[in-house]
């Protein structure tokens, strides 16, 4: 931004220097000009035949001012100048400041109107085509005659000067021409650079405007004569005024575009674009018309553009609530002034070319200044947006890091306090972003006022006051506490934050109570850099609060646990892809007959670096990280593959598969079951889906509909860990589970606990009344098994029968058990191999 300002000042100073130089040169030209008077003789004849007319004119006609004379179309004019009345010198120069005359000749005559020899145009001969002139010998010449003709109505300006003055005149005009051309090219390069850097449409309009002004200036100075044939100068003269109309049209388009972008112009006013385009096209086509028609068209077009620019400007002033920037006012005044002088030059025929040159410089100054000021404001806005939040205008993370870096460079101790109002996300969903953002602004201003008296870091000071609160993201804010870590100081800030947010958010008689999560980290105790300090604060903020805790200090143990969870989540994805998981089976035994009822498929994970990872650890991580769907599909697929092999030796075998609550509502999971059951030719009734009680209580209506989808397939449903949740009899009756599993915490101590005995007996009674059978987990001795048999429990599993086995070991266990004779008693079966506690 500083560089842009310096560049703008440099351009501004250079343009002022050009303006001063052109003005000084114009004054010098005006001072050196000599008023030329003489006789005007219209005659279409050669010098020989026109000589008597010239001699007669000096005796019968009155002298006229030859510095600005109107000539008619296709009419030859003779201009006679009495050189004896002017200052004597050895050589003099007569010239015309008209580059587009169709014909011009210079003659030097003695007292008797006889031709004298003239000097060659040795002074700047290349200038003769732009500034026609002739050098004559003042000692012998008494009369100077100029013969001129043009294809259309035109104006001729005749001047008389010395050779030295003419050389100064040429040099001055050349210098002014070079300065103005250089200025216009500089303006074009600035507008082009701005467009390349910012892609602003305004820059394109300025490029077109400066292009039109450049073309008009080159034509006005006759520089295009070098590239034209004998018949083209008239076209160039007319095209000069067409370029003036086009330049004003471009400015009008720019103004209309701006008003449209500000939604100020109404739809019906868009036809102004059509009017501007129409007058622009007519102005260009008028170059093919006669001079009189061209004059009328250009005059009307310039008048229309002037009226339109004034209308747009005053319409803008009357329909905008904002103050009009002074640079736009400067531009409007410059354009209006330029248009008025263009019209004056065209209508009156006055010689205002020097004034027009000054106005070109003035317009360039106005437009470049406006463009650079606009870009400066845009850069400031862009810089502001980089360091502030768009919605609340609070400082953002970038500005916070800058302030923290300055504290770290000073080695000053400080603590970052991050807080997250828990109600914001819910409020946005119910009240909308606009209302919540307004609430945030009011609340943060109130909080900032209370924090102003505390020892907190001032992140920013502006016209709005003291800024100490930073918005890190959509719902997280930060405050920096200066000084060494003091719990009392942190408690004080926490109390202020909680008190400010205690009122919650109210909208249309709806009120949401707010709660604030707060995390704290300290420099240099917890971090050595500003970025690391923010990271530590976020880690402290992410810790789930315990009952009664209002804030958390960063703890390295929590970070270690969090990093382990991240490592597990990352490794779990690879474990699924590279088949690092395995299924173990724990047999389920019919307690009445001693026969194998089935087996529960249990997921196991042995990682090369992490070692054995229990399901209680990686299943919640899989659910939170979104990997649970892939994991469930792998378990179901692998379990049914194994079931295919098991049913080859035990057709009645029932495999129990645990399913996550998050996967229960997936519509594609029943399709997966149908596909696999059909592929492996399995009986759906031999598949048991086990759902935890907490999972079945999640959104009960949808759960029931989901369970019906599985029942249509033929798959059976079991409720696992029964007794640990809050299921009611009505709920169990509505769900209609095929199997109820008693959690092992009620079974393992059943022999000694009256409460556990009551729970197990009641569960068996409930299952019988609902038409379900009961499976007891955690049976580890015969006494527990006998009690459960007495309660009516049908199926049991636990270490008393077998611990969970790998698939190959489970197949061996099945073959060994199935090898026992049918006449073997239940006690003999247990003794001969059913009880695998000591064998596996």
**Tens digits of per-residue pLDDT, 741-800?**
888 889 988 888 999 999 899 989 988 888 888 999 999 999 999 999 999 999 999 999
Compute the Cα dihedral for 551, 557, 561, 566 and give only its sign.
positive
Longest alpha-carbon distance in the chain: 162
**Using 50, 70 and 90 to split pLDDT, how confident is the model at 657?**
very high
Asked if omega into 351 is within 30° of 0 (cis), the reply is no
Average pLDDT over residues 500-529: 77
User: What is the C-alpha to C-alpha distance for residues 628 and 606, in angstroms, rounded to an integer?
Assistant: 18
CA distance 597 to 16: 101
Separation in Å, CA 651 to CA 255, 358, 598, 682: 86, 105, 10, 10
CA 753/CA 2 separation, integer angstroms: 82
Mean pLDDT of 185-189: 87
Residue 592 CB neighbour total at 10 angstroms: 12
Q: How many CB atoms lie within 10 A of CB 621?
A: 18
Q: What pLDDT shows up at residue 268? A: 63
Count the neighbouring beta carbons within 10 Å of the beta carbon of residue 125. Answer: 10
Rg of the chain, C-alpha, whole Å? 49
Angle (CA) 170-176-181 rounded to 5° is 125
Helix (H) or strand (E) holding 702: helix 700-713
Q: Which residues lie below 8 Å from residue 161, measured CB to CB, with a gap of 6+? A: 32, 33, 34, 92, 93, 95, 169
- Centroid of chain to Cα 615: 44
Q: Does residue 650 surpass a pLDDT of 60?
A: yes
Angle ∠(767,769,774) on CA atoms, nearest 5: 15
**Per-residue pLDDT, 700:** 45
Q: Give residue-wise pLDDT tens across range 346-399.
A: 776 655 667 777 888 888 888 888 888 877 887 888 888 888 887 778 888 888
Give the end-to-end CA distance of the chain in Å, rounded to a whole number.
77
Beta strand 516-523 pairing with 552-553: parallel
- The C-alpha angle with vertex 232 and arms to 229 and 233, in degrees rounded to 5, equals 110
Element (H, E) at 324: none
- The tokens for 251 are 């400015």
Rounded to the nearest angstrom, the gap between the alpha carbon of residue 371 and the centroid of all alpha carbons in its chain is: 22
For 389-449, the three-class secondary structure string (H helix, E strand, C coil) is: CCCCCCECHHHHHHHHHHHHHCCCCEEEEEEEECCHHHHHHHHCHHHHHHHHHHHHHHHHH
Residue 837 confidence (pLDDT): 40
* pTM (2 d.p.): 0.53
Identify whether the C-beta of residue 455 lies closer than 8 Å to the C-beta of residue 407: no
């Amino acid at each position: 931004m500083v560089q842009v300002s310096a560049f703008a000042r440099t351009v501004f100073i250079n343009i002022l220097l050009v303006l001063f130089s052109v003005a000084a040169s114009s004054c010098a030209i005006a001072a050196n000009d000599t008023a030329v008077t003489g006789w005007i003789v219209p005659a279409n004849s050669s010098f020989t035949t026109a000589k008597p007319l010239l001699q007669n004119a000096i005796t019968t006609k009155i002298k006229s001012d030859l510095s600005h004379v109107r000539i008619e179309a296709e009419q030859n004019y003779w201009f006679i100048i009495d050189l004896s009345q002017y200052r004597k010198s050895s050589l003099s120069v007569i010239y015309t400041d008209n580059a587009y005359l169709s014909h011009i000749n210079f003659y030097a005559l003695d007292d008797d109107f006889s031709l004298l020899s003239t000097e060659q145009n040795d002074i700047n001969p290349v200038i003769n085509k732009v500034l026609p002139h002739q050098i004559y010998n003042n000692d012998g010449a008494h009369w100077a005659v100029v013969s001129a003709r043009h294809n259309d109505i035109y104006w001729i300006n005749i001047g008389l000067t010395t050779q030295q003055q003419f050389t100064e005149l040429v040099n001055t005009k050349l210098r002014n021409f070079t300065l103005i051309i250089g200025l216009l090219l500089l303006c074009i390069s600035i507008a082009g650079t701005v467009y390349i850097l910012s892609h602003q449409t305004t820059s394109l309009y300025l490029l077109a405007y400066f292009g039109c002004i450049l073309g008009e200036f080159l034509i006005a100075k006759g520089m295009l004569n070098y590239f034209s044939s004998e018949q083209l100068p008239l076209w160039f003269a007319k095209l000069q005024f067409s370029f003036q109309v086009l330049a004003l049209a471009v400015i009008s388009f720019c103004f209309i575009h701006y008003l449209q972008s500000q939604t100020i112009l109404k739809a019906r006013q868009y036809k102004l674009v059509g009017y501007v385009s129409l007058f622009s096209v007519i102005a260009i086509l008028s170059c093919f018309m006669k001079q009189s028609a061209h004059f009328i068209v250009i005059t009307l077009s310039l008048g229309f553009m002037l009226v339109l620019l004034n209308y747009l400007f005053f319409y803008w002033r009357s329909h905008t609530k904002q103050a009009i920037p002074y640079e736009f006012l400067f531009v409007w005044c410059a354009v209006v002034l330029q248009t008025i002088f263009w019209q004056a030059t065209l209508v009156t025929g006055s010689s205002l070319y020097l004034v027009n040159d000054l106005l070109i410089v003035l317009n360039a100054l106005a437009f470049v200044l406006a463009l650079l000021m606009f870009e400066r404001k845009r850069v400031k806005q862009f810089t502001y947006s980089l360091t502030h939040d768009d919605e609340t205008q609070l400082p953002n993370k970038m500005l916070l890091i800058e302030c923290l870096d300055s504290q770290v460079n000073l080695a000053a101790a400080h603590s970052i306090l991050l807080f997250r109002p828990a109600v914001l996300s819910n409020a946005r969903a119910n009240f909308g972003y606009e209302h919540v953002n307004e609430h945030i602004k009011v609340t943060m201003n109130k909080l900032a006022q209370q924090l102003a008296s505390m020892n907190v870091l001032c992140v920013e000071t502006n016209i709005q006051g003291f800024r100490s609160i930073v918005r890190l993201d959509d719902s997280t804010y930060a405050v920096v506490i200066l000084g060494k870590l003091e719990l009392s100081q942190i408690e004080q800030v926490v109390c202020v934050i909680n008190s400010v947010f205690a009122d919650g958010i109210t909208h249309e008689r709806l009120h949401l109570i707010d709660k604030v999560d707060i995390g704290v980290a300290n420099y240099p105790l917890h971090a050595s850099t500003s970025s690391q300090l923010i990271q530590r604060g976020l880690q402290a903020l992410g810790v789930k609060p315990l009952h009664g805790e209002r804030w958390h200090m960063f703890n390295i143990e929590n970070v270690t646990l969090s990093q382990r969870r991240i490592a597990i989540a990352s490794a779990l994805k690879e474990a699924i892809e590279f088949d690092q998981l395995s299924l173990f089976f724990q047999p389920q035994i019919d307690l009445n007959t001693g026969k194998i009822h089935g087996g529960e498929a249990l997921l196991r994970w042995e990682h090369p670096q992490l070692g054995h990872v229990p399901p209680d650890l990686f299943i919640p991580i899989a659910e939170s990280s979104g990997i649970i769907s892939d994991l469930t599909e792998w378990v179901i697929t692998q379990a049914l593959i194994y079931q295919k092999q098991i049913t080859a030796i035990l057709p009645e075998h029932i495999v129990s598969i645990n399913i996550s609550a998050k996967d229960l509502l997936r519509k594609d999971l029943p399709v997966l079951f149908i596909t696999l059951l059909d592929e492996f030719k399995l009986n759906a009734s031999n598949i048991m889906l086990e759902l935890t009680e907490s999972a079945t209580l999640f959104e009960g209506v949808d759960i029931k509909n989901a369970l019906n989808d599985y029942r249509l397939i033929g798959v059976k449903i079991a409720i696992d860990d029964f007794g640990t949740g809050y299921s009611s009899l009505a709920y169990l009756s509505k769900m209609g589970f095929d199997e109820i599993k008693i959690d092992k915490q009620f079974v393992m101590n059943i022999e000694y606990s009256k409460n556990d005995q009551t729970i197990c007996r009641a569960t068996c009674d409930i299952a019988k009344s609902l038409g379900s059978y009961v499976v007891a987990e955690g049976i580890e001795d015969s006494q527990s098994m006998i009690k459960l048999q007495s309660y009516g429990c049908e199926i049991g599993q636990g270490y008393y029968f077998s611990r969970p086995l790998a698939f190959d070991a489970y197949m061996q266990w099945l073959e060994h058990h199935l090898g026992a004779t049918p006449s073997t008693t239940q006690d003999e079966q247990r003794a001969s191999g059913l009880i695998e506690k000591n064998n596996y």
